[in-house]
Structure 1
């Protein structure tokens, strides 16, 4: 969603951070050495207070929110040390879209059925989509983080890495307080300042939160209706198409133009139908013009999905990790009644092997970004090109056959 890319730590440490730390890398020690220490923090904070008042935030809110705020070295340490989460889709989804979360989600769909009905009528976003995010982000509000969000944002705003981003978030956090949505003590979360049951950044909170329970406040911490409707409002703003699918499981034949199977490539369903792609129940995919990408999160031998514009435009905007987004989309389909996916028989490929593959691709002149064992868009593109060169099925998924070819230097 509209947040710092992949910013949280593992579930506080195991849940909400697990979802958001899928690709976030750590800073170099060289950068850390150039950053200021805490000595100048108080002077900086005084200047920020003046700026906030100049931007129209009430002096009372500014002074009460920032009174006694100190530099938090633990936030900086966590930000520096945050590593890369490199679980594959089947491992991640089996943990996060588990039977317990599915049962809990279905119970909430039933409990808040009138709220979900009203939300879908107003925003077009179905309940299962919201409940899946709700469960993955905070386990339905059970794990929202417990750090002082204002202190965390102030510390990161003073830091040298991304001060402009965090200063904008801190300013909007003050606006949320100034508007009366939350009390100061409610502004708690993980170390990068996200707040509430859907872990909104303060800027997302300020711009998209709605009062859905009619109490005059946009409370995304304590109010379930406010939280659900605000998430729907945000999703709708990203171009959600009401009544349209987001992710559908399919069965793929043995022979396909595998180089066309990527979330960045959209084809009309007619294209996939022509090659014999079928739905899970065995029915052929309609031969129509509806755009869809063939998503193979574990390669051609793993599970397969048709990904529609709702997935590409909304899910990947909420969180640009393909592993997280596919898990969120899949869990939503389960909540909507889809069966457990077919896992297939994908080739096991470890994170260490993925790093080695990335290193070999870099030697071939490819830019795969950080060599971290995470197979992102750049790595998938490079893999696909090399698979085509070697005459291998070009599904963009790492394989030992490709690794051996690259090791041989052919």
Structure 2
């Protein structure tokens, strides 16, 4: 099940289009002319004109891709609801079964790349339900549609040329390869550039087959996470309990303290001991909801997906798969419905805050702005939007 762009797409979004790309294959306009521009540009990426011509011959726009790109409202759900929707006992049981089935593969991943098995199992579960639901969008059509669309062409255009190289090696068939709406392929949903750079032949058959080979997909995902900065042997997320007297304005990803400093403030692990690492204190639904310490590895998740709710849920699920208990949901205040959330974001923008797009989604920028205004107004600065805050603004 695909919910948003994976780490590959998030990382690719940091790339700016070169002047050559902007000149030869601009977004928008006539699609046939757009394809001609891609063909003309292909040799500059090391792809022959003949390969590009054959690759692009049957490519067409897919309106369903654009519809999916515009409809990611699931990320408006609060963390508790979202996590309960994604994490079922069946998914936990299948995760543990797969952990045993591919035990030797996970051992090799942990030895080579330092990525704990729960992390990859959680992504495998959320991205494709352990390979069962990989998407039925034509991959090349999806990439071309999104590169032609002017919302994020700099993200998707490079993927087309990477896909051409995979086509040359026999690992993509423009007519038959399918995957997610955003062009990701396989069990852990990787984009073509990242398959080229981090694809691993985990089963030794001479090909990187992310759609049909779990060892290939898992090994490739582990290598990708290592390349993004995953630190071997370190935790990523830990549930904690908090004192009522905590300074709530210190919570959020913007503040990082040594775990010992958090302990001195009364932050305690629900299980085990705190790691000797810097950490941020996360309150996904404010001071009355669940609480977690996020260690450096947690930030690597944002290279996979940039939704705070998705990232925190995936990180938490990884801990569950490795034995952590169900989180204490607490009794958080009700959140704001879509219209009120957008109204709150607009009020924050009017006060000079950058919240990104006014989309009703409680992202990191909106949370930081809420904390600042809560502190200014003398409210508990826990980053959780409430009717009280909306009315006060």
The TM-score, its normalising length taken from structure 2, stands at 0.88
Structure-1 separation of matches of 2:105 and 2:273: 35
Secondary structure of 1:134 counterpart: helix
46-55 vs 105-114, greater mean Cα deviation: 46-55
Give the counterpart of 1:168 among 151, 155, 158: 158
* Cα distance in 1, alignment partners of residues 217 and 282 from structure 2: 30
Q: 1:387 to 1:147 in 2, by over 3 A?
A: same
Cα distance change on mapping 1:35 and 1:311 into 2, 3 Å = closer
- Measured against aligned partners, the alpha-carbon deviations of 1:272-306 in whole angstroms (never above 9, x if no partner) come to 1111111113x6647x5x20111111111110111
Matched position secondary structure for 1:249: strand
Tell me the equivalent position of 2:99.
109
User: What residue in structure 2 maps to residue 85 of structure 1?
Assistant: 75
Aligned match of 2:270: 280
The equivalences for 1:233-252 within 5 A come to: 233-252=223-242
Q: 1:310 aligns with which of 264, 278, 297?
A: 297
Pick closer, same or farther for the CA change 1:181–1:82 going to 2, 3 Å: same
Tell whether the 8 Å contact from 1:129 to 1:332 is kept in structure 2 after alignment.
yes
Are the structure 2 counterparts of residues 240 and 84 from structure 1 closer, same or farther at C-alpha, using a change threshold of 3 Å?
same
Q: Indicate yes or no: 2:339 matched with 1:369.
A: no
Question: Are 1:343 and 2:333 an aligned pair?
Answer: no
Q: Distance in 2 between matches of 1:65 and 1:398?
A: 49
Q: Deviations over 1:42-63 (max 9, x none)?
A: 2332342243245332455434
**Residue 361 of structure 1, CA deviation:** 2.3
Counterpart position of 2:15: none
3-state SS of 1:17 partner: coil
Which residue in the other structure is 1:11 paired with? Answer: none
1:129 and 1:84, CA in 2 relative to 1: closer, same or farther beyond 3 A?
Answer: closer
Question: Do 1:71 and 1:151's aligned partners in 2 also have CA atoms closer than 8 Å?
Answer: yes
Query: Who is 1:323 aligned against?
Result: 309
Partner of 1:5: none
Superposition deviation, residue 348 in structure 1:
0.9
The TM-score, its normalising length taken from structure 1, stands at 0.85
Contact 2:5 2:304 in 1 (8 A): no
Structure 1 residues 79 and 399: CA distance shift in structure 2, 3 A: closer
Equivalents in 2 of 1:366, 1:187: separation in Å?
43
Q: Distance in 1 between matches of 2:94 and 2:31?
A: 44
Q: Which residue number corresponds to residue 120 of structure 1?
A: 110
Pairing partner for 2:136 from 141, 146, 160: 146
Matched, 1:207 2:197: yes
Structure 1 counterpart of 2:20? none
Residues 381 and 17 of structure 1: is their aligned pair in 2 closer, same or farther, counting only changes over 3 Å? closer
Q: Does the 8 A contact of 2:4 with 2:305 survive in 1?
A: no
* Length, aligned pairs only: 374
Partner Cα distance (2:391, 2:99) in 1: 49
8 A Cα contact 2:163 2:172, kept in partner: no
Give yes or no for contact 1:72–1:155 (8 Å, CA) kept in 2. Answer: yes
Q: Note if 1:136 corresponds to 2:117.
A: no
Post-superposition Cα deviations, 1:369-390, rounded to whole Å, max 9, x if no partner, equal: 2222212222112211121122
* Partner residue, 1:258: 248
Q: Distance in 2 between matches of 1:35 and 1:329?
A: 36
Distance in 2 between the 1:83 and 1:339 partners?
28
Distance 1:19 1:86, change over 3 A: farther
Question: 1:159 and 1:374, CA in 2 relative to 1: closer, same or farther beyond 3 A?
Answer: closer
1:180 Cα deviation (Å)? 2.8
Equivalent position SS for 1:306: strand
Partners of 1:277 and 1:284 within 8 A in 2: no
Residue by residue, what CA displacement relative to the aligned partner does 1:226-278 show, whole Å, maximum 9, x if unpaired?
A: 00000000000111111111001111111111111112211001111111111
Cα distance in 2, alignment partners of residues 71 and 396 from structure 1: 41
Cα distance in 2 for residues equivalent to 1:168 and 1:35: 13
SS of 2:155's partner is: helix
The verdict on how the C-alpha distance between 1:234 and 1:285 changes in structure 2, with shifts beyond 3 A counting, is closer
Partner residue in 2 for 1:385: 372
Matches of 1:362 and 1:58, distance apart in 2: 48
The answer to whether residue 390 in structure 2 is matched with residue 403 in structure 1 is yes
* Comparing 230-239 and 258-267, the one that deviates more: 258-267
